[in-house]
């Protein structure tokens, strides 16, 4: 068959047309899904959150569940009846009573994950066949492949998926894509996160429609005026990239300057802190090549698998001889054996 045409992209402004509290499918999206069901076509709901709910809170005392080893909240996975840490894989059963105050049956799932979205779709469209595509539901790449083939062949009316649906799968009966929370990843002002959100939404939207069946992508957002959202809606990749480049140049971020992140980690918080302070005082070789040293500061995820993490950032002008300067810097304040040092030059992620 022919080349797919780009789908029509439209925003659903959650501030004006949002769903009632505790629900995640806005009425305009639900109406579009009902039309597809009637026509025998497929809808895809995209939400990049695995599990049932990203947060479990006790309604009696406000306690919420966190990983004992990481700075991360435990995500409820209802199918597996577990609370799971997405950083380290720690899993524990979902208790009936709050472990802090002991109140029974007061634990509340807060926010949406794909499992919860599937539940809502089933409540709205009782007769529809719903398929959940997530790295949790398929055991291994072969099972995922088989599941995708079955769905592509028409084995589902509504597909609900995480980012596993974004790439390369061809669903010939799919004519509607609903992006449930387009604002995920935009809130922290991280340029790379904005870029990832842009790419992901473009990829997912591109799943809808083909030559003889034009697609529609409805994008639920509380910030349709956000520059990234405007670029997504206008389909204007060049404008988005130009804006990104300008923002990066202003921030001295790669490729307009060079950056290195030094992450120190270890089981003893005080030793990690002392090693970081020693490195901060030994920055002369960096200054000699025009680089600036920032930190130490707790890494954005300050604890993973029980190890404390502290970060220093080095920003250097483009063309600076950064590698030898980094080597000289570390040689001047090498951390003790109990503290691990990882250097990432022009890092892809600052987590
Ligand atoms: Zn409680
Ligand atoms: Zn963990």
Ligand 1 centre and the CA of 77: distance in Å?
20
Whether the predicted pLDDT of 171 surpasses 90: no
The pLDDT of residue 244 is 63
Whether the predicted pLDDT of 23 surpasses 90: yes
Ligand 1 centre and the CA of 79: distance in Å?
23
> Which residues are within 8 A (CB) of 230 and not within 5 positions of it... i.e. 6 or more apart?
224
- For the domain spanning 8-51+112-247, the CATH number is 3.40.50.300
- Start-to-end C-alpha separation, the chain: 43
CA distance 95 to 101: 12
Ligand 1 centre and the CA of 105: distance in Å?
10
Ligand 2 centre and the CA of 309: distance in Å?
14
Whether the predicted pLDDT of 241 surpasses 70: no
What is the SS3 assignment for 311-339? EEEEEEECCCCHHHHHHHHHHCCCCCCCC
Ligand 1 centre and the CA of 309: distance in Å?
30
Which ligand ends up closest to the CA of 303? 2
Ligand 2 centre and the CA of 85: distance in Å?
5
CA distance 246 to 345: 21
CA of 314: how far to CAs of 91, 182, 320, in Å? 36, 32, 12
**Mean pLDDT value of segment 78-83:** 86
What is the percent of the chain with per-residue pLDDT over 90, rounded to a whole number?
41
Strands 257-266 and 307-317: antiparallel
- Structure tokens given for 276: 């970081």
pLDDT band at 93 (very low <50, low <70, confident <90, very high): very high
Whether the predicted pLDDT of 190 surpasses 60: no
**Mean pLDDT value of segment 273-293:** 93
pLDDT band at 239 (very low <50, low <70, confident <90, very high): low
**Placement of tokens 């030898």 in the chain:** 324
**Mean pLDDT value of segment 189-218:** 73
The pLDDT of residue 277 is 93
Ligand 1 centre and the CA of 60: distance in Å?
5
According to DSSP, residue 101 is labeled T
Question: Does domain 257-345 fall into CATH 3.40.50.150?
Answer: no
The pLDDT of residue 1 is 35
Ligand 1 centre and the CA of 112: distance in Å?
21
**Boundaries of every domain in the chain:** 8-51+112-247, 55-110, 257-345
The pLDDT of residue 254 is 65
Mean pLDDT for all residues in the chain? 84
Ligand 1 centre and the CA of 61: distance in Å?
4
Ligand 1 centre and the CA of 100: distance in Å?
5
pLDDT band at 351 (very low <50, low <70, confident <90, very high): very low
Burial-class residue 149 by CB neighbours within 10 Å (0-12, 13-18, 19+): exposed
Ligand 2 centre and the CA of 338: distance in Å?
21
- Structure tokens given for 170: 């061809």
258-274 tens-digit pLDDT: 888 899 999 998 999 99
39-66 burial, b at 16+ Cβ within 10 Å, e below that, comes to eebbbbbbbbbbbbbbbbbbebeebebe
49-73 tens-digit pLDDT: 889 998 899 999 999 999 998 888 8
Burial-class residue 274 by CB neighbours within 10 Å (0-12, 13-18, 19+): middle
**83-92, 209-218, 272-281, 323-332: the lowest-pLDDT one:** 209-218
CB of 236 closer than 8 Å to CB of 196:
no
């Amino acid at each position: 068959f022919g080349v797919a045409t780009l789908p029509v992209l439209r925003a659903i402004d959650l501030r004006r047309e949002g769903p009632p509290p505790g629900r995640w499918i806005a009425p305009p999206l639900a109406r579009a899904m009902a039309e597809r069901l009637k026509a025998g076509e497929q809808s895809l709901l995209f939400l990049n959150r695995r599990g049932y709910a990203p947060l479990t809170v006790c309604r009696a005392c406000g306690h919420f569940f966190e990983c004992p080893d990481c700075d991360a909240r435990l995500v409820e996975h209802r199918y597996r009846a577990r609370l799971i840490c997405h950083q380290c894989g720690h899993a524990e059963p979902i208790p009936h009573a709050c472990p802090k105050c002991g109140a029974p049956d007061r634990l509340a799932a807060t926010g949406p994950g794909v499992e919860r979205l599937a539940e809502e779709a089933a409540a709205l469209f009782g007769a529809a066949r719903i398929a959940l595509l997530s790295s949790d539901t398929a055991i291994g790449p072969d099972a995922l492949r088989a599941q995708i083939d079955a769905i592509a062949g028409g084995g589902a009316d509504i597909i609900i998926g995480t980012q596993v649906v974004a790439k390369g799968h061809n669903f010939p009966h799919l004519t509607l894509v609903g992006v449930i929370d387009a604002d995920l990843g935009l809130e922290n002002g991280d340029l790379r996160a904005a870029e990832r959100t842009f790419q992901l939404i473009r990829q997912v939207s591109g799943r809808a429609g083909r030559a003889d069946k034009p697609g529609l992508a409805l994008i639920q957002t509380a910030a349709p005026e956000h520059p990234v959202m405007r670029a997504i809606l206008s389909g204007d990749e060049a404008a988005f990239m130009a804006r990104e480049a300008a923002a990066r140049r202003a921030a001295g971020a790669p490729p307009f300057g060079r950056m290195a992140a030094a992450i120190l980690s270890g089981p003893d918080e005080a030793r990690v802190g002392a090693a970081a302070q020693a490195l901060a005082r030994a920055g002369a070789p960096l200054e000699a090549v025009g680089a600036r040293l920032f930190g130490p500061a707790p890494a954005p995820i300050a604890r993973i698998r029980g190890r404390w993490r502290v970060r220093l950032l080095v920003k250097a002008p483009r063309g600076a001889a950064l590698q030898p300067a980094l080597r000289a810097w570390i040689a001047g304040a090498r951390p003790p054996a109990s503290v691990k040092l990882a250097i990432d030059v022009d890092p892809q992620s600052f987590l």
